[in-house]
Structure 1
Amino acid sequence: MGVSAAMIVRDSERCISRCLDSIITAVDEIVIVDTGSTDQTVAIIESYAQGHEHIRLYHFDWINDFSAARNYSLEQVTNKWVFVVDSDDVLPAADHDKIRSYVNAYDSLGQEAVFDIIYDNTLNGEIVEVIPVGYVRLFPSRLRYRDMIHEQITFGDMPRLQSDIHLLHDGYDINLVDVMSKKKRNIELLIQNLKADNDNARLWLHLGREMSVLDKEKALRYLKIAVSKTTNSELLVLIRKEIESIS
């Protein structure tokens, strides 16, 4: 059984080649869903697909819902396992063989699990933040995402395990990305999502985080709402840590 990479992209000409180069032989299939690029992203992907038959490009009309786009990408996957990657991610060469290693180990046991990867945020090419948990990126491809923004995979009682797979990510490098514009977009989607799911403490936490760079008073208000919406001890620790960081 093989493993597919799945990614959604838009206006990613800056980094898409670098991402594809890092995963092109690490997986058995690469499913890319473009959500409306107006730059050279599609042309770059098409040039890769011409030389690599395991790269397949699809198109999805953007509806302000990351889960909808990601779930569409998962529907195109033909392998049992999927590794989700973003265009501004890079799989280090040292971790190249680890994806298949985890998949093969669990296939041999006849078991399923979801795996967190280690997320390394970079600035000017240097790692400035290491996030060991919170990013489930390797999992059975039959699973699906929920939430319009800061989407999460739904895996029920399936074991969640920590892998030693790293992804380098420069999507918050202020030298490369308009971070403020990104945060405003995220806030708009979070507010929209909360109108339909007002008791979602995790979304209130993310809203507080995003708002903290724009309005600390509002951010604290949102974080206090998050506290009132959950009894989950792990989530409460994250919320209170966020409150302390901006108080």
Structure 2
Amino acid sequence: MIVRNEETTLPKCLGSVKDFVDEIVVLDTGSTDKTTQIAQQFGAKVHYFTWNNNFSSARNEALKYVTGDWILVLDADESLTSEIIPLIKSAISKEEYLVINLVRQEVGSTQSPYSLVSRLFRHHPDIYFDRPYHALIDDSVMAILAKEANWEIGYLPGVAILHTGYQKAVINEQNKSAKAAAAMAEFFANHPDDAYVCSKLGALYMQMGKINEGMELLNHGLNQIIGNQVNEDKKPLSKFKYSQSQKVEVAFDEDINYDILYELHYHLGIAYTNLKNLPSAISHYQAAVKLPIYPLLKLGGYNNLGNLFKNMGNFSEAKIAYETAIKIDPNFVTGYYNLGMVCKAMGLFAEAIDAYNNAINLNPDYAEAYQNLGVVLLKIGDVQGSLEAFEYAISLHELNNPEEAQRLHQGLKEMGLF
């Protein structure tokens, strides 16, 4: 891992791997806090590198100090889930795997909450990172596969990495968006046909409010892929995914990187939603969720599609979208809440109650779920149950949203319920 001023997050990260890995290599790029001391307390071998605004350079420097057979890459704001460790042990024991793709969850995110990352790979001399931001090993791996036909790419089901660094407060505090945009814009200037950078930089511009610039990049990236201009030596890792026991059989064009194509359609969906062009937004989301990619990656697409249909009054299609999202991820709290809202609007009160209760079981502090549960229970005449739900909602709102707590309390009082 590479680090800089990570004393707050580093203990959790290293604590998640200390009893599993044989070696911890930490490359410090200029910390002024207790980062290096904390790393050493966990037994890490700490090395130093002068930061040059290029993540790939730093990651490749860190690779020089690795002595193990397999390499797991983490950032300080990430942690390894305990459930994935037995699966990793089993996968790396197999002779055929060169890289194992891992599912990463963006904690607290409803927009693209999951991604597939190539963070576990053999200590192969020809594997290296490329790109100054969002550093990847993918291009070097594809070059190896073209020369050495004995290798396969694997993936593990289930969440392997938890990531907190994309939460809005963290991004704002560390000025991550501006740093990322500067690094990617410089790279894009020299690689104008790189669809991956178009996707990442275009999405970042959207987040920064640069709608026109973002859409231009996203459409440019889309044209690069649909125009079949992806080079033969840059085929996606996704097309080589395997489970631990058998290959994933999907018929698709091997020259197209469907993971990038999904992201381009997904972020164009967000762009057109911001521009109030809902038909175009729906079209892009529908194109995104039809692509042959790892199902968890489609979660945000189905959820956003459901939101658009709901806002347009097409509750039946919204219900299907939310139900599909929940089927993909039975722990998708937001999906259950949204399903409850659309079922309530359709008058399907029993289904709405089930959906709200599922959301509450997964997140007992979900004030809005309690509040809307109270509304539905009141509609079916369960006054006592409704009051209990409203009381929970008010108590939770008082902690985080006092104005809403007061508004809800006043409304119930005016109805003669309080």
The TM-score range, normalised by the shorter chain, is: 0.7 to 0.9
Query: Which residue, 85, 100, 117 being the options, matches 1:115?
Result: 100
1:42 corresponds in structure 2 to 36
1:213 corresponds in structure 2 to 207
For residues 111 and 20 of structure 1, the distance between their equivalents in structure 2, rounded to whole angstroms, comes to: 29
Decide whether aligned partners of structure 1 residues 233 and 138 sit closer, same or farther in structure 2, where only a CA change above 3 A counts. closer
Query: Which residue, 122, 134, 153 being the options, matches 1:160?
Result: 153
For residues 218 and 129 of structure 1, the distance between their equivalents in structure 2, rounded to whole angstroms, comes to: 21
Across the two proteins, how many residue pairs are aligned to each other? 229
Name which structure has the greater RCO, CA cutoff 8 Å, separation 6+. 1
One-letter amino acid of the structure 1 residue matched with residue 222 of structure 2: V
2:331 corresponds in structure 1 to none
1:52 corresponds in structure 2 to none
2:48 corresponds in structure 1 to 59
- The offset of 1:46, in angstroms, is 2.5
- The offset of 1:150, in angstroms, is 1.1
1:200 corresponds in structure 2 to 194
More strand as a share of residues = 1
Decide whether aligned partners of structure 1 residues 127 and 115 sit closer, same or farther in structure 2, where only a CA change above 3 A counts. farther
Superposed counterparts of 1:148-187, under 5 Å: 148-153=132-137, 154-156=140-142, 157=145, 158-164=151-157, 166-178=160-172, 181-187=175-181
Between structure 1 and structure 2, the one with the greater Rg is 2
For residues 110 and 21 of structure 2, the distance between their equivalents in structure 1, rounded to whole angstroms, comes to: 25
**TM-score, normalising length from structure 2?**
0.52
2:263 corresponds in structure 1 to 238
1:138 aligns with 2:120: yes
**TM-score, normalising length from structure 1?**
0.85
Decide whether aligned partners of structure 1 residues 194 and 83 sit closer, same or farther in structure 2, where only a CA change above 3 A counts. same
For residues 170 and 257 of structure 2, the distance between their equivalents in structure 1, rounded to whole angstroms, comes to: 36
SS at match of 2:11: helix
For residues 233 and 155 of structure 1, the distance between their equivalents in structure 2, rounded to whole angstroms, comes to: 15
For residues 211 and 40 of structure 1, the distance between their equivalents in structure 2, rounded to whole angstroms, comes to: 34
Query: Which residue, 216, 222, 225 being the options, matches 2:220?
Result: 225
More helix as a share of residues = 2
Decide whether aligned partners of structure 1 residues 237 and 136 sit closer, same or farther in structure 2, where only a CA change above 3 A counts. same
* Residue ranges of structure 1 left out of the alignment (5+ in a row): 1-6, 50-54
Q: What percentage of residue pairs aligned between the two structures are identical? A: 24
- The offset of 1:222, in angstroms, is 1.1
SS at match of 1:191: helix
Decide whether aligned partners of structure 1 residues 47 and 121 sit closer, same or farther in structure 2, where only a CA change above 3 A counts. same
Query: Which residue, 61, 78, 92 being the options, matches 2:67?
Result: 78
